[in-house]
Amino acid sequence: MAPTVKLNNGYEFPVIGFGTYTANPGEMEQVVKDAIDAGYRHFDTALFYMNESEVGAAIRAKIAEGVIKREDVFVTTKLWNTHHRPGVVVDTCKKSLSNLGLDYVDLYLIHWPFGFQEGEDGRPKDENNKLIFSDVDYVDTWKAMEECVKQGLTKSIGFFNFNSQQIQRVLDIATIKPVVNQVECHPYLNQTKLIEFCREKGIQITAYSPFAGPTSIAPLHKGESPEPLKDPKIKELADKYNKTVAQVILKYLVQLGVVPIPKSSNKKRLLENIDIFDFELRPEDVSVMNSLNRNNRICDFIQVKEHKHYPFNIEY
């Protein structure tokens, strides 16, 4: 089982999570059951992933078996871009809870700072195949996110892929402080400036795509992916510590103060990915890992670059 860190509102947050994006339909329930058996207690899903029902079914099954209690697991889900209008946020959160079969989630995130036209289509497009934007301001969305906390639908709120300026705009109006900013983070995009900014604000960074794999963000993929899992320098460190390359990457992120969210349907890798708490990277080896940074972002959602709330037009 992973240790925890304390969020700014006092809740405990397991320092490694389990990601559920791009799983094959029908397989996620068993994968989450396997992850629970492997010791994972932090699960990350989203309305957009269309697997909340499977994730929830697995958690409920393990509760029924007596393996876990509800309070033992930390469940995150997310508000998709077509639901940013303040008047629909609470109902959308309730829809996720219904899908999960849970009374509450531990963390509810705004999935992206930009909104899309409301409707059933998660990626609404015009006749020219361009995404149709919404001009809802995420600051207004945030106020509705706070209502989700007040109604007991979620214990904590935060966001996904917000840059420093967007975070500050929310902090300036927030009555309930964000606890987490989930971003792409791996050895080739180590996000040290954003990590430090968030640390100063008391916001925990979580990392999706910790291995920068192309399947991790398939529909948003801009093309060629870096492959830190094949990096010879990381392989040298893995040999030195008698660990896998994946374990070294995850440990590096944890030592940066980041909570990584790897995903795998392979039982062996499930166990390996959480088995990172019996070693520490030495300072000189952390420096080697730091030197690999290229600011190489694979999940840039370039189709949305013209949106006024696109987050990647500034350094961090």
Residues annotated in the binding site for substrate, as ranges?
A: 111
298 to 124, 126, 185: CA distances (angstroms): 22, 25, 10
Residue 83 to residue 110: CA distance in whole angstroms: 9
Q: Which residues pair with 125 in a beta bridge?
A: 131
Is residue 198 within 8 Å of 205, Cβ to Cβ? yes
Give every CB contact of residue 294 below 8 A, 6+ residues apart in sequence: 188, 189, 226
Residue 49 known to be catalytic: yes
Residue 191 to residue 297: CA distance in whole angstroms: 10
Is residue 256 within 8 Å of 194, Cβ to Cβ? no
Catalytic residue among 40, 49, 138, 252: 49
Residue 47 to residue 78: CA distance in whole angstroms: 6
* Residue tagged 């876990």 (tokens): 68
Binding residues: 111
Residue 257 to residue 5: CA distance in whole angstroms: 9
Is residue 111 within 8 Å of 80, Cβ to Cβ? yes
DSSP state of 186: B
Active site residues: 49
